[in-house]
Structure 1
Amino acid sequence: MHRIRIFSATALALALGACDMAPKYVRPALPVPVESPSGPAYPAGATGQAAIQPADTGWRDFFTDQRLVRVIEKALVHNRDLRIAVANVEQARAQYRVQRSDLFPTIAANGSATYQDFPFAQQGAGGAAGAGAGATGRTDIYSASVGISAWEIDLFGRVRNLSKAAQEQYFARVESRNAAQAALIAETASAWLSMAANQERLRIARDLEAAFGKTLELTRARFAKGIASELEVRQAQTSYDQARADIAEATTLVAQDQNALNLLAGSTVAPGDLPSAMPQEDVTLANLPTDLPSSILLQRPDILAAEHQLRAANADIGAARAAFFPNISLTAALGTLSAGLSNLFASGSDYWSAAPSVRLPIFDFGKNQGNLRYSRATYDAMLATYEKSVQTGFREVADALARRGTMTAQLEAQSSLRDAARVGYRLSEARFRAGVDPFLTTLDAQRTLYSAERSMLATRLARAANMIELYRAMGGGLK
């Protein structure tokens, strides 16, 4: 009967613990326009193949170059920053389990034995020792019990809100880890493409070095015959030396790109997975959406992480409010007590105890009020952080779309410029060899061609990087 009373009281306390002092959470309105931006810089709309949904498209499907896919796979396994993010998730999960355990009583088993021995000196009449002189009194007490100690009965939701806050922090860490993965995929792909572009730049510099070298030899020969001036020789030398300097610089950049790629991958990338030149075909799917509602941003892991932080701050307000109300705790035990070990679990030796306690703050010199104000200020800060995350995400998508909207026209113009520069260079060189044009015309054509080749390469790299950034900004890279 006593056991039933104890457990009934416990169940009643749990049933009463239904008050929640936290404000009702309402997701803030998005502080950005509902629709994507529009204007001359933005693409008019999807054409041809149906647009994919980045958040629902796995990165292995988005990247079409298998060498790049293998490098990304290696990075996801070995990258140390991602390992740190995973460890942070495990830390938050453990902290949540610790905090959540306070919702339930800690049940512990206890056993003890007490031995006492008291001497007695009984004296008879006339000072003579009585028959009981020298006798002793010994008391042995054995006990075993199962009980709970200082369990807080969460009537006002303080412990539950602390547990909810810890849970939201855990969810935030999970989303932060997802954001780290998406960023790692994008960064690895960008580093791979950067190495490919610098390999291409090295090839262009070597080709032009050879061409400029032939022009330099011809100019020197003409100078030896008195046909060309020393000025023309020096001008030819400048183009040749510039190409040589660019070869040295590009060689250094390729080595640095490989080092960066190895760092991202967490181990040395196999030579067969490294790019030797800028791929002629796209390394990603091209049918990304050209517009989207701003609500799609809610799928981005960084924004989800900011919202979980906001929810955690909201729960902390509830815990701070509950601190103004009485704190009720319970210590109880159920066990057996006996003077003999053999009778410890015999009938009639059981006992129970219950010690509820109440603590009501009366005057704490503003401690609870300060904690509540701190919680509210933290919520305001998390709200601003969430809104800024949404605005940042909107800007990233808008910037990527604006870049994509003009990229096709820029690439076409740059390709035409490069082709014209190539033809112009061939014509000017032929006219120079025929003695029709001065060398300065050929020199200008050489420099124009070199600049056009490098600009074309930079535009191709920017287009590929834009597709990767747009995929990441729209929430891709999680699957």
Structure 2
Amino acid sequence: MRRAVKNRFSRTILAAMGIAVFGMMPRVAAADNLADALIGAYNTSGLLEQNRALLRAADEDVAISVAALRPIIDWTARVQRNLVENRTGGLVSDSQTSTFFTGISLQQLLYDGGASQLAKSAAQETVLATRQSLLQVEQSVLFTAVSAYMNVLLQEENVVLRQNNVRVLGEELRASQDRFEVGEVTRTDVALSESRLAGARANLADAQGALITARAVYVNAVGNEPGKIAGQPRLPQRPASIDAAVAFGVRNHPSILAAQHQVKAANLTVERTRKSLGPNVTLRADIGLTNTYGNSNYNDTASAGVLFTQPVYAGGRLAATIRRSMATRDSIKANLLNVNKDVIQAINEAYVRFETAGASLTASNERVRAAQVAFDGIREEATLGARTTLDVLTAEQELLDAQTAQISARAERSLAAYQLLSSQGLLTAERLGLAVQIYDPTLYYNLVKGAPAKVSKQSKDLDRVLEALGKK
């Protein structure tokens, strides 16, 4: 009778472990892989749309600065009432006239010391800085998608582990009950198995809740519900050394490049401010028709002149404007130094994180192997009466902890690999080769940089681009 119970105990544990091993096998069919998550994030991110709009606004600043160098033509209409009091000797006479004027006025900047040209150059540097800032936002969006994907995968694997744990402990409880009936174990052993099973069910509920939360985060990051997750992504190629990673990141990271262009724009702004305090020459011309009410007189009028201005004193505002632009420039230069340091620190941290995660995964794999061997041995010894129920439950818990650490270390290594990419400025749709329509920042800029008139062909082309973007 006892031998039959031992054999049944052995078979039930083996069956439960078979379920656990099967549950840990990699899934073959999958609907969503990491590339799908990255594509979804790139195509649906509102943050990317927001910053693309900011880039188009910066493009328009170039057009505005170009327009400042061109003639300004206005059509005007004016109704005017004139009251004149004439005194000749002791005689006083009043005259009143009402006139209507309509015509065209023209204003053209002739000389401002190059301030307008410097404003245009500064606007162009700001465009280049904004493009790099857009790339950094893109990196942030894609890394958020990577994190969301890896978290869903981790929580799914954790749920599978917890489900298998519940099954194993359920079989252990039934085996304990069978052995109790024949007097091999005490009621305490059965109660211990019941307690472990109840704890496992509570942990499974927590894991299922964490998976629901992870899926909600995925929807927010990617734009759609996750399908059947494909599994661990292939790791990107890592740099040869930490020094190589730092050298590449310092040269290519979009945050550093954006800060460099901001410094150039600030230097140009200081020069423009200084030039704007010099002489300014403007051509003004008017041509039109004047009608005096009360008679049938019409006068054709035309005038032209050159206006020369030179700021002399404005209560201290002129010098303050220069000092303000210089202080802004100095703050932007300091920011470049900070950004450079932050990028170097981020690369070092990401590289160490990846190396640590790799070592942790290697140790976790060995831990799982050893825990599996220990569990198998203790389980077999328990069937022979050499081990207690508590020994079996403790070994099973150790195996579960090892498997949990293993899946966490595997997810951590993948996340660290993509963080290392991002820290170098490599986590972009173009560099990853994603199957998406890459946003071309030069398309809109090339259409607006010449400040096309509303009736021009270029303006019509621009309207079509805006319609394609869904902005009309």
Normalising by structure 2, we get a TM-score of 0.71
Structure 2 counterpart of 1:354: 305
User: Is residue 249–residue 344 contact of structure 2 (8 Å, CA) maintained in 1?
Assistant: no
Structure 2 counterpart of 1:426: 376
Judged with a 3 Å threshold, the aligned counterparts in structure 2 of structure 1 residues 140 and 462 are, in CA distance, closer, same or farther, namely: closer
1:328 paired to 2:280: yes
C-alpha RMSD of matched pairs (Å): 3.4
How many Å separate the matches in 2 of 1:203 and 1:436?
Answer: 31
User: Is residue 32–residue 229 contact of structure 2 (8 Å, CA) maintained in 1?
Assistant: no
1:314 paired to 2:267: yes
Structure 2 counterpart of 1:289: 239
How many Å separate the matches in 2 of 1:197 and 1:140?
Answer: 82
User: Is residue 337–residue 350 contact of structure 1 (8 Å, CA) maintained in 2?
Assistant: yes
User: Is residue 415–residue 456 contact of structure 1 (8 Å, CA) maintained in 2?
Assistant: yes
Unaligned runs of 5+ in 1: 1-63, 119-136
User: Is residue 382–residue 392 contact of structure 2 (8 Å, CA) maintained in 1?
Assistant: yes
Structure 2 counterpart of 1:202: 159
User: Is residue 73–residue 104 contact of structure 2 (8 Å, CA) maintained in 1?
Assistant: no
Residue deviations 1:341-390, cap 9 Å, x none?
xx999xxx78441131313233523x233333322222222122212212
How many Å separate the matches in 2 of 1:353 and 1:68?
Answer: 68
1:264 paired to 2:221: yes
Per-residue deviation, 1:244 = 1.3
Structure 2 counterpart of 1:246: 203
User: Which protein, 1 or 2, shows the higher relative CO under an 8 Å CA cutoff with sep ≥ 6?
Assistant: 1
1:77 to 43, 59, 70: 43
Per-residue deviation, 1:415 = 0.9
2:107 to 137, 145, 148: 148
Report the AA paired with residue 333 of structure 1: A
Judged with a 3 Å threshold, the aligned counterparts in structure 2 of structure 1 residues 474 and 295 are, in CA distance, closer, same or farther, namely: closer
Structure 1 runs (4+) deviating above 6 angstroms are 111-116, 137-143, 336-340
Structure 2 counterpart of 1:298: 251
User: Is residue 112–residue 275 contact of structure 2 (8 Å, CA) maintained in 1?
Assistant: no
Structure 1 counterpart of 2:462: none
Per-residue deviation, 1:152 = 7.3
How many Å separate the matches in 1 of 2:104 and 2:159?
Answer: 80
1:102 paired to 2:53: no
Structure 2 counterpart of 1:474: 424
Aligned length: 384
1:162 paired to 2:142: no
How many Å separate the matches in 2 of 1:223 and 1:431?
Answer: 17
Per-residue deviation, 1:454 = 0.4
Unaligned runs of 5+ in 2: 1-29, 85-95, 431-472
Structure 1 counterpart of 2:229: 275
Structural mapping, 1:426-445, within 5 Å:
426-445=376-395
User: Is residue 336–residue 351 contact of structure 1 (8 Å, CA) maintained in 2?
Assistant: yes
Judged with a 3 Å threshold, the aligned counterparts in structure 2 of structure 1 residues 344 and 466 are, in CA distance, closer, same or farther, namely: farther
Q: Which moved more, 1:381-390 or 1:294-303?
A: 294-303
How many Å separate the matches in 2 of 1:374 and 1:216?
Answer: 77
Report the AA paired with residue 72 of structure 1: L
1:458 paired to 2:417: no
1:176 paired to 2:133: yes
Structure 2 counterpart of 1:19: none
Residue deviations 1:80-135, cap 9 Å, x none?
1111111221222223332442233323355779999x9xxxxxxxxxxxxxxxxx
Report the AA paired with residue 264 of structure 1: A
How many Å separate the matches in 2 of 1:144 and 1:336?
Answer: 4
How many Å separate the matches in 1 of 2:38 and 2:143?
Answer: 9
Judged with a 3 Å threshold, the aligned counterparts in structure 2 of structure 1 residues 378 and 242 are, in CA distance, closer, same or farther, namely: farther
Structure 2 counterpart of 1:86: 52
Per-residue deviation, 1:219 = 2.4
User: Is residue 142–residue 338 contact of structure 1 (8 Å, CA) maintained in 2?
Assistant: yes
User: Is residue 326–residue 361 contact of structure 1 (8 Å, CA) maintained in 2?
Assistant: no
Structure 2 counterpart of 1:51: none
Judged with a 3 Å threshold, the aligned counterparts in structure 2 of structure 1 residues 170 and 418 are, in CA distance, closer, same or farther, namely: same
User: Is residue 103–residue 154 contact of structure 1 (8 Å, CA) maintained in 2?
Assistant: no
Report the AA paired with residue 361 of structure 1: V
Report the AA paired with residue 466 of structure 1: A
Structure 2 counterpart of 1:219: 176
How many Å separate the matches in 1 of 2:51 and 2:66?
Answer: 22
Per-residue deviation, 1:451 = 0.7
How many Å separate the matches in 2 of 1:386 and 1:65?
Answer: 43
Judged with a 3 Å threshold, the aligned counterparts in structure 2 of structure 1 residues 371 and 274 are, in CA distance, closer, same or farther, namely: farther
Judged with a 3 Å threshold, the aligned counterparts in structure 2 of structure 1 residues 145 and 226 are, in CA distance, closer, same or farther, namely: same
1:378 paired to 2:331: no
How many Å separate the matches in 1 of 2:248 and 2:322?
Answer: 32
Q: Which has the higher helix share?
A: 2
Per-residue deviation, 1:467 = 1.7
How many Å separate the matches in 2 of 1:461 and 1:139?
Answer: 84
Q: SS at 1:103's partner residue? A: coil
User: Is residue 290–residue 401 contact of structure 1 (8 Å, CA) maintained in 2?
Assistant: no
Per-residue deviation, 1:428 = 0.9
Structure 1 counterpart of 2:341: 391
User: Is residue 173–residue 305 contact of structure 1 (8 Å, CA) maintained in 2?
Assistant: yes
How many Å separate the matches in 2 of 1:451 and 1:92?
Answer: 54
User: Is residue 239–residue 447 contact of structure 1 (8 Å, CA) maintained in 2?
Assistant: no
Identical aligned pairs, as a percentage? Answer: 19
2:149 to 192, 196, 219: 192
User: Is residue 336–residue 344 contact of structure 1 (8 Å, CA) maintained in 2?
Assistant: no
Judged with a 3 Å threshold, the aligned counterparts in structure 2 of structure 1 residues 111 and 82 are, in CA distance, closer, same or farther, namely: same
Structure 1 counterpart of 2:366: 416
